[in-house]
Amino acid sequence: MSDDLDLRLAALLAPPERAPDEAFATRMSRLVVAEERLRAARRRAWTRFVTMMLATASLLLLFILLARTAPGDSGEVVGPFSRAAAGLLLLALWAGVASAPPAPRHGH
């Protein structure tokens, strides 16, 4: 008898059956897609940052090496036609190109 009573109580206290909430499911799937896009954009940004930092470090190292090996009498002044001046010009050009804002991407 107690089993029958337990079954009736479970049936009476059970939440009513209802249809799935389509709006909630759609909202959650949009949030998942947005999170995946954000994660991919973040990964691309970090990759670009690391690439830029490695390129900057290599250019600075190149400039320092060129400045130290450049022939000169004082060691403090970089001649306008020396290898160090060419390295400095390359560094300035790269900094100008790298600081330009990226072009907007359409359709993504």
Write down the mean pLDDT value for the chain. 81
- Whether the model clears a pTM of 0.85, i.e. scores above it, the answer is no
Q: Which pLDDT score is estimated for 61? A: 84
Percent with pLDDT over 90 in the chain: 24
Per-residue pLDDT tens over the stretch 73-100 = 555 666 777 777 777 787 788 777 777 7
Question: Is the pLDDT at 36 greater than 90, yes or no?
Answer: yes
Q: Is 62 exposed, middle or buried (0-12, 13-18, 19+ CB in 10 A)?
A: middle
Q: What letter would DSSP give residue 16? A: P
